[in-house]
Chains A and B, each alone.
Chain A
Amino acid sequence: DAKTTQPNSMESNEEEPVHLPCNHSTISGTDYIHWYRQLPSQGPEYVIHGLTSNVNNRMASLAIAEDRKSSTLILHRATLRDAAVYYCILRDVTSGSARQLTFGSGTQLTVLP
């Protein structure tokens, strides 16, 4: 199974952009890159996903490297409410058990006022 590597923790200042990196050097051609986040005392929340092209939605942007071996979740203006654990997850929706959402250790984002 393809794995992801994320920093254990990151800090950001409020109202500044945040770039959360994720390495996935063994990604396969059918793996989608998903990001979820988990706020304190909440269940995980879907943020964004992509395959090859960069993606934008109301929550964030996803920048995917040309070789797809890494990606970056971009929060354009961090707020205190963005403090959470961010999970980068690979999902191969064509392949049996790999279709399931399997969480790695994630990055704990702290936003400083």
Chain B
Amino acid sequence: DTEVTQTPKHLVMGMTNKKSLKCEQHMGHRAMYWYKQKAKKPPELMFVYSYEKLSINESVPSRFSPECPNSSLLNLHLHALQPEDSALYLCASSPMIVDGYTFGSGTRLTVV
């Protein structure tokens, strides 16, 4: 298995909702990442996990809460989002932080 799987593929949520994005990989990678990508813009790094511990938080608002329950799974919990948070959320993994990344296809989030 050489893929990063993200679910759901699409999500529409209201500003008062709580939802979660899920990312899974079975390549034995020990580093996992969340990126946010707005339309026509490059991906922007949000969080980095290394060996299931949060190592980088790029000043992301607390309405985004990452979680890494085990080495194969990465979640992004969403609460009280704003319409401007609508974007493509990409998960990636790598064997270690210094290696090449494998990206998932992303979750397209719309906040209404």
Residues of A within 8 A of B (CB): 34, 36, 41-46, 49, 85, 87, 91, 93, 97, 99-106
Asked if A46 and B42 sit within 8 Å, CB to CB, the answer is no
A10 to chain B, nearest CB (A): 17
Given contacts A44-B92, A46-B102, A99-B97, 9 further A-B contacts (CB under 8 A): A36-B101, A42-B103, A43-B90, A43-B103, A44-B103, A85-B42, A100-B48, A100-B56, A105-B42
Q: Is the CB of B42 within 8 A of A87?
A: yes
Tell me if B69 counts as interface (CB < 8 A to partner A). Answer: no
* Chain B positions 42 through 69: 1 when the CB is less than 8 Å from some CB of chain A, otherwise 0: 1111001000000010000000000000
Contact size class for B? 10 to 19
Note all chain A residues with C-beta closer than 8 A to B90.
43-44
Cα distance A33–B44 when bound, in Å? 19
Which positions 68-112 of chain B face chain A at CB distance < 8 Å?
90, 92, 97-98, 100-106
A49 touches B100 (CB 8 A): yes
Report whether over half of chain A's contact residues are helix, strand or loop; otherwise say mixed.
loop
Residues of chain B within 8 A (CB-CB) of A102 are 45
Interface residues of B (CB under 8 A from A): 4, 33, 42-45, 48, 56, 90, 92, 97-98, 100-106
Given contacts A43-B92, A43-B105, A100-B48, contact A34 B100 (CB under 8 A): yes
With A100-B56, A103-B42 known to touch, is A46 a contact of B97 (CB < 8 Å)? no
Q: A2 to chain B: closest CB distance in Å?
A: 16
> Complex: how many Å from CA A42 to CA B90?
9
Complex-state Cα separation, A103 to B48, whole angstroms: 15
From A108, which residue of chain B is reached at the shortest CB distance? B40
| Shortest distance between the CB of A110 and any CB in chain B (Å) | 15
Residues from chain A with a CB closer than 8 A to the CB of B98 are: 91, 93, 99
